[in-house]
Structure 1
Amino acid sequence: MKVVDNGEKIADARGILWDLDNTLYPLTPNFSNHFNARLADVAREWGVDLPHAELVALAEKSMRDYGYSGRIFIERFGFDRAALHHRIHEVADETLLSGTAELADHLEHLTLDHAIITHGSYDWACRVLNHIGLDRWFPAHRIHALETFDFHRKSESRRPFEQGLKSLGLNGCQVMMVEDTLHNLKVPHEMGMTTVLVTQGELPPRDLPGYVDIVCDDALAFVKMVRALKEGLS
C-alpha cells in the first residue's frame, strides 16, 4: 500500500468519487467471459454474420488492445457507439457480480458523501449498486455514466470529474477519486483530488506515475483505512 502525506489528505477529505466496475466490486473472468459473449450476441442480433466464437475473440482482442470490448465492433461493423453502449449494458447480467456486506458496514460509519463516475451506462450502474447493496450511498443525481457526460473519457476530459464534483458540492482538494484504471487518475490529480488506485490484488506497476497518491488492494481496504484515520483523529 502506498499512502502520501501520512494520510493527511485522506483525513481532510469530505467526499469520494468512485469508479464502478472493478473498483467497488471485483470483475471476475467469469463475468468478463459473460460480457464478451453478450457482445457477440448483440453483434449477431444486429446482422453480423460471423461465428459466435469469432465475435467473442474480437471482443477479447478489443479489450486487450483498447480497454473497451466494443471498439472493434464500432470501427469494423459501423455500430453506433451510443446504441451499442446502451444495448450491451441492457443484456449484461449484474447478478453474476458479488459485493461484500463488510464494505457497506464501513461506509455506514463514514461521514463522507459519495458519487459514481463510470464508463458504464446509468441503468447498469443503478442495477449493479442495488445488487451489491450499495445503492443507498449513491442517490440518482450522484450517478454519472458515460452517456450523462456526453461520452467524454475519464482519461481525456475534465467533464466527468467536474460533473461529479458539482453533484457533491465540493472542490477537488476536498475529494478522493478511487479508480482501477491507472491512466484515468491523471486528470483528477491535476484537478487537485487525492487519487487512489485499486489493484484488486494485482501488483501495481513498479514505477507508479506521480499522479497516483494511494494504492490499495480493493475498495474495502481503502474504506477501512479511511475510517481508521478519521476515527483516530476524532
Structure 2
Amino acid sequence: MSDMLNEPENVLENRQASPDFSHVDTWIFDLDNTLYPSRCNLFAQVDQRMSAFIADYLRVDPVEARRIQKLYYVEHGTTLNGLMKEHGLKPEAFLEYVHDIDVSMLEANKRLSKAIDRLKGRKLVLTNGSRGHALNVTGQLGLTDHFDEFYGIEALGYAPKPHAAAYDRFLELSGTEPLRAAMFEDIARNLEVPHTLGMTTVWVRPPLHPDAARHEKLAHEGADGPHVHHVTDTLEDFLETL
C-alpha cells in the first residue's frame, strides 16, 4: 500500500498549488470526514451501532459481529453492501438504526460555509450514508442551505462508492457533466472512477496513525495514483485558494 505521508513535500505542494477550477460548474462533496474533520470521530457512533445491529441480525457475539462488519467494508465497499449481498438484508432498517446518532459535537464551520457559498455553480453531496444522515450532519454544520441536493445511498440503488454503478446512477439523477465537475473525497480509492469519467478530483487527506487498522488505512490506499489530482488536509483551506 502506498503511503502519502512518505510522499516528498514538494510533490504535495505541486499537487496543491494554484489549482485551476475555472471550468467547474458542479461541485460534488462527500460527507463524513470531508465536510468535517475526522478528528470529530462522529463515525465512532455509527461504527458501534453497525456492530450492534449485526450482532442482533445475525445472532452472533460482539467480536464476530465486529469481524464481519470490517470484512464486508473492505470487500464490498460498505458494510451495508456486504450484508445485502451475503445475507439478503433489507437496507431501510439498517440505515435508520445506524444513523440514529448524536451530532451535537459538530460545530458550525463559518469559514467553510463562506468558502462553499463563493463557489459558482451547483453544489451537491454524494454519500454512502443515508440522505437523512447527510441532512442531519450538514444542518449541525450550518451548511445545508448551500447545497442544491443530497444524494444518499438510497438514491444510488444501494450501490456504494467506489463502484462505478454508484457514479453512473448519480450522473443520471443529477444531470452532471463530468468534465465540468469536481469531486472532494476523504477516501482516495473513491476518486478513481470520477477521474476516469473526467472529473477534477481532490483528496481531503485524513490523518494516518502508524498503528491504524486495515479498514482505517483504506482511505490512503492508492493515494499516490493519477486519480488524485489535488491533495489537502483541510477542505476550507483548499477552497479559499480557488
- Match status 1:38 vs 2:49: yes
Which segment drifts farther, 86-95 or 118-127?
86-95
Which of 123, 141, 152 is the equivalent residue of 1:114?
123
| 2:167 corresponds to | 160
Which of 198, 205, 212 is the equivalent residue of 1:199?
205
Report the alpha carbon displacement of residue 62 of structure 1 after superposing the two structures with TM: 4.9
Which segment drifts farther, 205-214 or 192-201?
205-214
Report the alpha carbon displacement of residue 120 of structure 1 after superposing the two structures with TM: 0.5
Q: Can you list the C-alpha shifts for 1:90-140, whole angstroms capped at 9, x where unaligned? A: 42333344452210022222223201111101111111111111100123x
1:20 and 1:117 in contact (8 A); partners too: yes
**Separation in 2, partners of 1:98, 1:48:** 37
| 2:139 corresponds to | 130
| 1:68 corresponds to | 78
Which segment drifts farther, 111-120 or 78-87?
78-87
| 2:5 corresponds to | none
Which of 216, 223, 232 is the equivalent residue of 2:239?
223
1:17 and 1:115 in contact (8 A); partners too: yes
Report the alpha carbon displacement of residue 214 of structure 1 after superposing the two structures with TM: 0.9
**Separation in 2, partners of 1:188, 1:88:** 30
- Match status 1:149 vs 2:156: yes
2:28 and 2:126 in contact (8 A); partners too: yes
**Separation in 2, partners of 1:5, 1:158:** 32
2:77 and 2:162 in contact (8 A); partners too: no
**Separation in 1, partners of 2:30, 2:201:** 12
Which of 175, 180, 185 is the equivalent residue of 2:181?
175
**Separation in 1, partners of 2:230, 2:25:** 17
Using structure 1 for the length normalisation, give the TM-score: 0.76
Which segment drifts farther, 105-114 or 80-89?
80-89
**Separation in 2, partners of 1:28, 1:70:** 24
**Separation in 2, partners of 1:54, 1:67:** 19
Seen in structure 2, the aligned counterparts of structure 1 residues 74 and 211 have a Cα distance that, compared at 3 Å, is same
Q: Which amino acid aligns with 1:3?
A: R
- Match status 1:22 vs 2:33: yes
Q: Percent identity?
A: 21
Seen in structure 2, the aligned counterparts of structure 1 residues 98 and 201 have a Cα distance that, compared at 3 Å, is farther
State the secondary structure of the residue aligned to 1:94: coil
Report the alpha carbon displacement of residue 179 of structure 1 after superposing the two structures with TM: 0.9
**Could you list the runs of 5+ residues in structure 2 that have no partner in the other structure?**
1-11, 210-219
State the secondary structure of the residue aligned to 1:35: helix
2:113 and 2:143 in contact (8 A); partners too: yes
Seen in structure 2, the aligned counterparts of structure 1 residues 115 and 59 have a Cα distance that, compared at 3 Å, is same
**Separation in 1, partners of 2:134, 2:19:** 30
**Separation in 2, partners of 1:207, 1:130:** 30
**Separation in 2, partners of 1:30, 1:183:** 21
Number of equivalent positions: 220
**Could you list the runs of 5+ residues in structure 1 that have no partner in the other structure?**
227-234
Using structure 2 for the length normalisation, give the TM-score: 0.74
2:84 and 2:91 in contact (8 A); partners too: no
Report the alpha carbon displacement of residue 164 of structure 1 after superposing the two structures with TM: 4.5
1:178 and 1:196 in contact (8 A); partners too: yes
Seen in structure 2, the aligned counterparts of structure 1 residues 113 and 90 have a Cα distance that, compared at 3 Å, is same
